[in-house]
Homo-oligomer: A and B are copies of this chain.
Amino acid sequence: MKTTGEILRERREKKGMLLRHVSALLDIDTAILSKIERGERKATREQINRLAEILEIDKESLIIQYLSEKILYELKDEDLGIQALKVAEKTIKYGVTKNK
């Protein structure tokens, strides 16, 4: 499966846009976008929304990929990650979230 960064870079190049162009629309330095595309940094949630629009990427699939990477990042050093994911999934399904 393609990473968020790969998706972004592919689409940007396919559209013939430069880092300079896209980063200007996002109002950030090209350095950050470069890092995002190479997976060295994470985009913010808001940047993902804008990028989907700017690059005309299917929003849902981009967000799903982005969120899953965020989750994996949280669990990267955890042996019990899979079990935690399963518990989270069950909880979310039964709508038992009581976060504030």
Q: Which A residues have a C-beta under 8 Å from some C-beta of B?
A: 1, 3, 39-40, 60, 63-65, 67-76, 78, 80-89, 91-93, 96-100
Contact = CB atoms under 8 A, between A and B. Distances in A.
Contacts of A39: 98, 100
A97 B76 CA distance: 8
A88 B100 contact: no
Oligomeric state, in number of copies?
A: 2
A72 to B, nearest CB: 5
Given A39-B98, A39-B100, A40-B100, A91 B68 contact: yes
A63 B82 CA distance: 12
Contacts of A65: 87
A71 to B, nearest CB: 4
